[in-house]
Amino acid sequence: MADDTLNDVLIDRLRSFLSKPNENLDGIRSAAARLHSRCASQDKATRERTLERVWRRHDGAIPLVLSLLESVRDQVTCCSLAGILHECVSPRAVKYRSPALSQLTSLNATQLIIKLLMQLSGKESQISDMLLYELVWIIAQLSQKDSKFSVKVRLTGSARTFHNILRLHYNNPKLLYPLLIVFKSLSRNVTTSTVLVKDGIVSTMEKVIVSIGYSPSPKLRLSLNVMHSLTRSSMFLYKLPNYINFFFSVLIYVKYIKLIYFIELCCTKMAKEDFVPLLLRIFERWERYNGKMRLRILTYTIITLKHLSNTKIGRKAIKSSNGLNLLYKFCVLCPNDRTYDSLLPRVASIIGTCMDKKVLPIDTTGPVLFSLPVLKTENSDTSDNTTGSGMRTSSSRETTPSADGSVAESFDNNDDDDDDASDKTQESDAGHGPYAIPPPILRDMDDLCQYAAFFQENVVTSNQEARTFEEKCIPRAKSYQEFGTHGCDSLGEHRDYWLINDRDGLRSDSYLGSCHLQHQEPSNDENSFWQKEVERRLNNYMRTVRSHSSCSCYDVYKREMTWKASSDPAMNSNLQNSLHMMGLTILSDIPKHSSVHYAYCAIASKVNTVYPVVKVAYPDMVGGDGSGQLYPLHIKDRKVCRAKLMTSVERAVHPHLLLDRVVYDLDGLIQQDAIAKGNDSGEKHLYNIDERRVGHRDLLKHHLLFESRFESGNLRKVVQIGLHEYELILLPDVNSVKHHQWFYFEVSNMEANVTYTFNIVNCEKQNSQFNYGMKPIMYSVIEAKEGRPGWVRAGSDICYYRNNYQNLHGRSRSWYLTTSFSMTFPHDNDVCYIAYHFPYPYSLLMTQIWKWSLSVDPSLIYFRTDCLCYSLNNNETPLLTITSPDMESNRIKDREVVFLTARVHPGESNASWVMHGTIQYLLSNAPAAIMVRNKFVFKIVPMLNMEGVINGCHRCGLSDEDLNRRWSRPNQYLHPVIYHSKGLIEYCARIMNKAPFMFCDYHGHSRRKNVFLYGCCNAGSWNQVDRSNSDDPVDYLMLPYLMQHFSKAFNLQACNFRVERMREATARVTIWREFGVKRSYTMESSFCGCDQGFYQGYHLDTIHLKEIGANFCEAMACLKDEGGWKADITPEEAARLAGLTSKEQLDESPPMSEISDNSDFSSDEDFH
């Protein structure tokens, strides 16, 4: 009872001094000291009774102490008052601590003590250590209770004050612990932690950890907690400093590490001899290393650990030595420096390798397989050009026979037609002698005569004769079993016209030296020649354009056609019917006046697919164009990529944290459809009702709805892993287990202004333009209804990185990669489509052909469409013929032939848009279009791999083979489109005795920007015989120079004219070598955009891709007077150009692999 009375007396005495505290310092000091001694008494009963009296809310003791603490200026008195509060919130005051903290928080004690610390720290006189200790202890306890502590620190601007205190007292063991508690709270707030990092907290924390030591302790735990929280700050990694120098003994060990890096066979021995713990101890102290030495040590150590992780004993040693935790810590604290970015994927790779195998939640095979023809030995002959002994040809998963019969390297990683990887065996192969390249297998002359039907513009004189000619000669097989059964006996009276006396055709030895040059940087003299020559041709071109404009572009045609029609009435009849789609039955029953929507749905309903199709995609039905706007390239946020990489590792470690809800499963849908339909084989009728679906929500499902059962769609499975996050698994190519890159799917049931994250988790390429500015595209049906149709570039937080799903079908212990992006949809309950690039499906091509056929004036343009052949799944292959009508002064049979092809790789939809621009321009009334139609006959196969396009494949067709590696020996039954396309060219070269003037295969490039050409030259060939023969560089260099002038997206410096051995089976090299076509090109256009020229920093839209196709025609218009400008070249100029072919200059040019993009976060290995 006496104790309670004394406590009351002391509190009342303090209250009496409250009005004038600084005038009664002695009385306040005495009362506060006595009350503090009782609160901190060793007698438990006295202490508890005093604390109970102080914290009681209705007595107002705590507000009294706070008021005195705020007003008193004496540090001794303040120390006693702060001590009272300290004892109230001390952990040993278990019973009273929580109510005391609540009362202090409600009384704004946090701000009061922060301001007091700022005032005392700002004075010239130093604050006493005891007062500082008491105040910091109080604020440390309040920081854990006050939810707005960091906000109050930010508002008072006291973050730097706390940092100054820590900087001055980091070696004070008594004060350090409460300070670390304060910083633990501050580091969890983005704003305060950013301020601290800018103020140098990292170097201070380094001193703190060094002073604490590496022995486990609560202070060390708090320090690491603070460091972990600070890594979330946007400034931390940037400010991470260099640490102390490493010891000389470690330098010796680093040399040993470098040695064993090159000796992989030592990995097992190292693991057995306990080298792994030693490596991990070195790695554990990486922060202490300084400058370049740190990066060097880390690189050697991580690469060695990576090699060790490839062995079972090495993985076991890493896990038993706590290596996974150390590696994870490195990922968290790795400096925000680009030089370290290549280390992060390797560290993640080690973690993933050491963990248990994780595979995709799908079957290893595709949901549907396509039955291929089984080829028997007795049914194969020389004309079949099979690649094997009669059995099924090797797939792209296997190896491709090389020219000399040996096995060349696999083409699995050659993701583009002529990608940048150089052939490392180039020089060694050259020494095999002049017969390293076998002569081409020539088809029988009688067999080639079947292609006369596709050149009927040269000989047909009546409409009836045209129909008879086509019916007899066109290879109209109803299935692949019937290909090749049509000979040339039915040619009748036209046979003698086509056959030539030389039955042997071109001699095989003429193919060994018909090559051309790798482009070099021209000298000043050479630049002057090119500049003069291009300017001269452009001036001639402009004079022709002006003359056409002044006299009406059509006068010449009208005069010629009027004369022709009057002299030959049958010709007039033929002109009026020349645009009929006689060979395309899929278009035969579509009425002329049908709407485009109806025509598209009617065509799509007739397309044969491998995967089930339930609808047509809305963007394709309405035209498929982009918005026409210039969208800037995405600026990659490396911090986002780091976060995504770390999230991937964390999810692999803690898979139970994922939601794991399957929301779309194509395999299950196919099984359900098969059960529902049974034996129903009725005709399908596809349509689209998206405009009626928008605005309606599925109330039973609280997640996004997905669909991809439409042409070119390829979504296989979707798993919801978070509230608004989904993992997407793509379909492989048909009859394959790989080739995942192209994606095209529909999303609905969304909420507006909600960020959804999509992770496509089974990508295979080791690099992607998603890491270099590319965005996916999105199409909104509501936006289209409101008058803003078109694909738009969309997405944020875009990153491409390696995940922890093991690729069972790749090389040993390889992993898939993730394309991750976030999207915010503009409307509620919209129907949106998301794609890798602007889709251009087979039905859209056929619809465009139907539209072109109705719009072309046959009196001005000769436009014919034929069915070249049927694909493996009985879909028609369109062949377009475009030229000017036959005129007395310009006969069609005298014109040069140009062959254009596209879309041999179905995922390269940009190639179709470029081809669309070429065809559209050729059918236009532009002066340059008239000029090229007058000069050339264009034979165009706009879609070489329609089966892959239809079924959403990326690389291959139904035979699981890269068709651009089958041109040298295509199989009539497995590769019908390639077989007959090559047959057309061979017919032109051997039967018509007219090698094509030009061949160009349109492609898309997934790893480079801009537009560029690949060509062929002798000096750039891997073959010794090719290099011994000279060629004229003007032949193949002039078109790239002209393209640079006409096309804003073209990059001349990216053009390449090497002929590599591994490219011998591609269209470009095969046509150049076997048929002597000097201008044999591959034109590559980027999926992404441009990094130079007019479009630098922007994506390419469909309007720009079509513009490139038109620019190609304009450049060709300047080549039409070849005989004239070649005659003008002086011997000196010719000598200078020939000098470009010298081997010395060719060797000086950097290989294209040196300038290819390297991913920062995409792979654990360097990308080539």
Give the pLDDT confidence score for residue 57 in this predicted structure. 66
Percent of the chain with pLDDT over 90: 32
Half-sphere exposure of residue 330, counting CA atoms within 13 Å on the CB side? Answer: 31
Q: What single letter denotes the amino acid at residue 1088?
A: C
Beta bridge partners of 821: 758
Separation CA 231–CA 225 (nearest Å): 10
Res. 995: pLDDT tops 50: yes
Tell me the residue length of the chain: 1168
pLDDT, tens only, 1005-1048 = 988 999 999 999 988 888 888 888 888 888 888 899 999 999 99
Q: Which of 83-97, 745-759, 901-915 has the lowest average pLDDT?
A: 83-97
**Residue in this structure with the two tokens 């034109």, named with its chain if needed:** 1083
Span 1065-1090, mean pLDDT? 93
Beta bridge partners of 937: 897
Contact call for residues 824 and 754 (beta carbons, < 8 A): yes
Exposed, middle or buried: residue 1057 (CB in 10 Å: 0-12, 13-18, 19+)?
buried
| DSSP letter string, 44-91 | HHHHHHHHHHHH-GGGTHHHHHHHHHHH---HHHHHHHHHHHHHHHST
- Sheet of 831-835, strands arranged across: 705-707, 744-748, 831-835, 777-780, 792-793
Res. 862: pLDDT tops 50: yes
Q: How far is CA 855 from CA 659, 858, 859, 930, in A?
A: 54, 9, 12, 16
Span 168-184, mean pLDDT? 85
Give the pLDDT confidence score for residue 1141 in this predicted structure. 40
Res. 705: pLDDT tops 70: yes
Res. 275: pLDDT tops 60: no
Contact call for residues 382 and 1035 (beta carbons, < 8 A): no
Res. 1165: pLDDT tops 70: no
Two tokens, residue 777: 């595209």
Give the pLDDT confidence score for residue 972 in this predicted structure. 92
Helix (H, G, I), strand (E, B) or coil at 341: coil
Give the pLDDT confidence score for residue 420 in this predicted structure. 41
pLDDT, tens only, 714-729 = 999 999 999 999 999 9
Span 663-684, mean pLDDT? 76
- CB neighbours of 1010 closer than 8 A, spacing ≥ 6? 1049, 1050, 1051, 1054, 1086, 1090, 1091, 1092, 1093
What number of helices (H) and strands (E) belong to the chain? Answer: 47, 18
Count of Cβ atoms closer than 10 Å to residue 824 Cβ:
14
pLDDT, tens only, 288-341 = 666 665 676 677 677 777 777 777 777 888 888 888 888 877 877 777 777 777
Span 777-805, mean pLDDT? 92
User: How far from chain centre, in Å, is Cα 674?
Assistant: 35
Least Cα distance to 363 among 808, 820, 813 occurs for 808
Span 26-38, mean pLDDT? 80
Res. 782: pLDDT tops 80: yes
Count of Cβ atoms closer than 10 Å to residue 216 Cβ:
8
Res. 652: pLDDT tops 80: no
Contact call for residues 422 and 1151 (beta carbons, < 8 A): yes
Give the pLDDT confidence score for residue 1039 in this predicted structure. 92
Separation CA 940–CA 309 (nearest Å): 52
- CB neighbours of 360 closer than 8 A, spacing ≥ 6? 729, 761, 762, 805, 816
Beta bridge partners of 807: 814
User: Quick one: the chain helix, strand, coil %, rounded to 5?
Assistant: 50, 10, 40
User: How far from chain centre, in Å, is Cα 288?
Assistant: 37
The single-letter DSSP state of residue 11 is H
Separation CA 256–CA 275 (nearest Å): 12
Two tokens, residue 185: 């709270």
Q: What single letter denotes the amino acid at residue 231?
A: T
Least Cα distance to 781 among 688, 691, 687 occurs for 691
Res. 1163: pLDDT tops 60: no
Radius of gyration of the chain (CA): 38
Please provide the distance, in angstroms rounded to a whole number, between the alpha carbons at the two ends of the chain: 86
Q: How far is CA 212 from CA 209, 220, 325, in A?
A: 5, 7, 21
Give the pLDDT confidence score for residue 518 in this predicted structure. 36
Catalytic residue among 287, 764, 1084, 1114: 1084
Res. 816: pLDDT tops 50: yes
Sign of CA dihedral 780, 783, 787, 792: negative
| DSSP letter string, 553-607 | TTHHHHHHHHHHHHH-HHHHHHHHHTTS-TT-GGGTTS-TT--HHHHHHHHHHH-
Separation CA 992–CA 981 (nearest Å): 16
Res. 287: pLDDT tops 50: yes
Res. 225: pLDDT tops 80: no
Res. 70: pLDDT tops 50: yes
Q: Which of 77-81, 688-692, 706-710, 937-941 has the lowest average pLDDT?
A: 77-81
Give the pLDDT confidence score for residue 1090 in this predicted structure. 94
pLDDT band at 279 (very low <50, low <70, confident <90, very high): low
Give the pLDDT confidence score for residue 1132 in this predicted structure. 53
- Sheet of 896-902, strands arranged across: 862-870, 876-883, 936-941, 896-902, 998-1005, 1080-1086, 1011-1014
pLDDT band at 533 (very low <50, low <70, confident <90, very high): low
Count of Cβ atoms closer than 10 Å to residue 500 Cβ:
11
> Which tops the pLDDT comparison, 761 or 42?
761
Count of Cβ atoms closer than 10 Å to residue 758 Cβ:
25
Give the pLDDT confidence score for residue 699 in this predicted structure. 86
pLDDT, tens only, 592-635 = 888 999 999 999 999 999 999 999 999 999 999 999 899 999 98
Least Cα distance to 130 among 181, 172, 186 occurs for 172
Give the pLDDT confidence score for residue 477 in this predicted structure. 39
Contact call for residues 1083 and 1000 (beta carbons, < 8 A): yes
Span 768-777, mean pLDDT? 92
Helix (H, G, I), strand (E, B) or coil at 481: helix
pLDDT, tens only, 865-875 = 999 999 999 99
Helix (H, G, I), strand (E, B) or coil at 748: strand
Q: Which helix (H) or strand (E) holds 474?
A: none
Q: What single letter denotes the amino acid at residue 154?
A: R
Beta bridge partners of 791: 626
Give the pLDDT confidence score for residue 610 in this predicted structure. 92
The single-letter DSSP state of residue 818 is E
Helix (H, G, I), strand (E, B) or coil at 1001: strand
Contact call for residues 1083 and 1002 (beta carbons, < 8 A): yes
Res. 417: pLDDT tops 70: no
Res. 372: pLDDT tops 50: yes
pLDDT band at 541 (very low <50, low <70, confident <90, very high): low
Q: Is 746 a catalytic residue?
A: no
Res. 767: pLDDT tops 90: no
Q: How far is CA 21 from CA 26, 62, 120, 896, 914, in A?
A: 10, 16, 18, 107, 87
Span 536-556, mean pLDDT? 49
- CA angle 550/553/556 to nearest 5° reads 105
Separation CA 1066–CA 1060 (nearest Å): 10
Give the pLDDT confidence score for residue 11 in this predicted structure. 78
The single-letter DSSP state of residue 816 is E
pLDDT band at 515 (very low <50, low <70, confident <90, very high): very low
Separation CA 101–CA 81 (nearest Å): 16
> Which tops the pLDDT comparison, 135 or 846?
846
- CA angle 499/503/507 to nearest 5° reads 125
Least Cα distance to 933 among 691, 1074, 1113, 770 occurs for 1113
> Which tops the pLDDT comparison, 901 or 389?
901
Separation CA 444–CA 849 (nearest Å): 33
Q: How far is CA 841 from CA 412, 478, 519, 577, in A?
A: 25, 22, 35, 28
